[in-house]
Structures are given as C-alpha cells and as structure tokens.
Structure 1
Amino acid sequence: MRKSVQHMLEDILRDYPKLPSYIKQREDELKYPTPEQDDNVGGGRALNKLSDPVGREVITINDDRWLQQLKKERQAIDECLDESGVVTEKIIQETYFKGNVGLRMVDLCDRQIIPVSTTKAYELRNSFLVELGKKLNVDVM
C-alpha cells in the first residue's frame, strides 16, 4: 500500500469519533441555510437581482456529496470493525480513536495494551486498512 493512501485512510479513522457531529452539522447547514448578505447598503433597488426562490437550486440532503461521503466513510468503518476480530478492533481503537498520539504500536504492544506481538499488530492493522480502502473504493495497491 502506498504511504499516501495509508495516511489518507488513517486520517479518516482519526476523524471517525467526530463523524456524527460532522454529519449533524452538515445536515443542519442544509436544512437551515444562511440568507445571502445584502450588499445594497445605501438603499435603492437592485436592478440585476432576480427574486426567484423556487427557481434557485437547493442542495438537498440526498444530493450533497460531502454529506454522502461522510456517511459512506462512517458505514465503511462500522462494517470493517464488525468484520474484524477483537484484537484488530482493539488495535484500531487504541491507535486511532483514543488520544494516544504519543504511543506507537511498539509501545502499545510492550505495555500489553494490545495482546499480540508488534509484527502481528502491524499485519492486523494493515489488513484492516486494505479492507477499509476496498470499501471506500480507494486504490490500495
């Protein structure tokens, strides 16, 4: 797996605990859009401004690509976690979901937080990342 793809998938995993709030925030932005600011401060009429609220294209929740991508990432991670074993799930939780920024995989294995060898932990993590990449339609090879 290329390092750039691995880093991208790791960033997605680090954002996983915040995904529900990102999804809620984006849905609220779409449901309650902010009105356009009126630049016509001095008064008078805006000559080139058409008022056609029906004709304006409104992005709905089903059409918003960013929102759909967030939901797709969340679903893919959930599926991968469900399909993975207990040890793999523990590795992913300790490495990406918790605030163990200073702890490396070697430290997690040495402290027996993850009950496998370092080599096995890297293998399990890498296989999880490959499966996640496949579910997200990312070219992992």
Structure 2
Amino acid sequence: MRAGIKNAIIAILKDYPNYEAYRRERELDLRYPAIEPDDNVGGGRTTREHDAKMINYIVSIESDKRLRALERQHKAVQYALYEADNDTRKIIEELYFKERPLYSMAGLVMSGKLKNILSERSAYRARNEFIEQVADNLGIKYL
C-alpha cells in the first residue's frame, strides 16, 4: 500500500471518534450560513427569504458532499471494526482512537493486552490488514 493512502486512512481512523461533532458542526454550517450584510437600506418590498432559506437548507443537507463523505468514512471504519477480531480492535482503539495513547505497538504486545497476537510483526500485520479493509470499504485502490 502506498504511504499516502495509508496516511489518509490513518487520518480517517484518528478522526473517527469525533464523527458526531464534525457532523453536527457541518449541519449547523448548512443550517445557519454566513449572511452578507445588506447595504441597500431603504424602501422595497419584503421577500420570502425565510421560505427560500429553508428549502435551500433541506436540499443542501441531502446533497452536501462533505457531509456524505463524513458518513461514508464513518460507515467504512464502523464496518471494518465489526469484522475485526478483538485484538485488532484493541490495536486500532489504542493507537488511533485515544487522544493520548498509553501504548505503542511494541508496548501492546509486551503488556499482554493482546490475547492471540504474540509478536510485534503479527500486530503490525493485523493493523495493516485493517487499514486495507477500510480502504476496500471506501473503494480506494491501494496497489
């Protein structure tokens, strides 16, 4: 797997615990967009801006590319976690989901936290297979 793709998947894994906050923030951005001040002071008729804004909000929530990408990434990681064994889940959670990991890969193996993985090399293999599974779920080619 190329280093750039691997690093992108690792970045997705590190962002995984923050998915709900990112989704909420993006929906708020769409719901309450930045409004430019109106310099046209004076007469004129009112418009139905409120109705138009609500229609635009509904359409933009459904078709927002950033929101769809967040959901797609979240589901790809979620599915890979569901398919992974307990040791692989522990590796991923310790190395990528924690804000301040307590263990490195070698520390996880030496501490006995992993039941079926006995060497650092097999731990790295399990991690790399997980990363490849997430890439497959996202439809990324990693030749």
Q: Indicate whether the TM-score tops 0.5.
A: yes
Corresponding residue number in structure 1 for 2:82: 82
Corresponding residue number in structure 2 for 1:123: 125
Distance 1:66 1:29 in 2: 11
Q: More displaced, 99-108 or 11-20? A: 99-108
Which aligned pairs between 1:106-121 and structure 2 lie closer than 5 A?
106-115=106-115, 116=117, 117-121=119-123
1:12-65 C-alpha deviation (Å, 9 max, x unpaired): 0000000011112212222x2235221528x4579xxxx674778835211000
Corresponding residue number in structure 2 for 1:137: 139
> Is 1:36 the equivalent of 2:45?
no
Distance 1:124 1:95 in 2: 13
Corresponding residue number in structure 2 for 1:10: 10
Q: More displaced, 95-104 or 8-17? A: 95-104
Distance 2:124 2:37 in 1: 56
Runs of 5+ unmatched residues, structure 2: none
Percent identity over the alignment is 27
- Structure 1 92/35 Cα, relative in aligned 2: closer, same or farther at 3 Å? closer
Distance 1:67 1:122 in 2: 32
Name the one with the larger helix percent: 2
- Give the CA deviation at 1:102: 6.8
Which aligned pairs between 1:24-103 and structure 2 lie closer than 5 A?
24-30=24-30, 32-34=31-33, 36-38=35-37, 40=39, 43=41, 53=49, 58=56, 59-101=59-101, 103=103
Corresponding residue number in structure 2 for 1:19: 19
- Structure 1 113/27 Cα, relative in aligned 2: closer, same or farther at 3 Å? same
Runs of 5+ unmatched residues, structure 1: none
Count of paired positions = 135
For the aligned residue pairs, the C-alpha RMSD in angstroms reads 2.5
Q: TM-score, normalised by structure 2?
A: 0.81
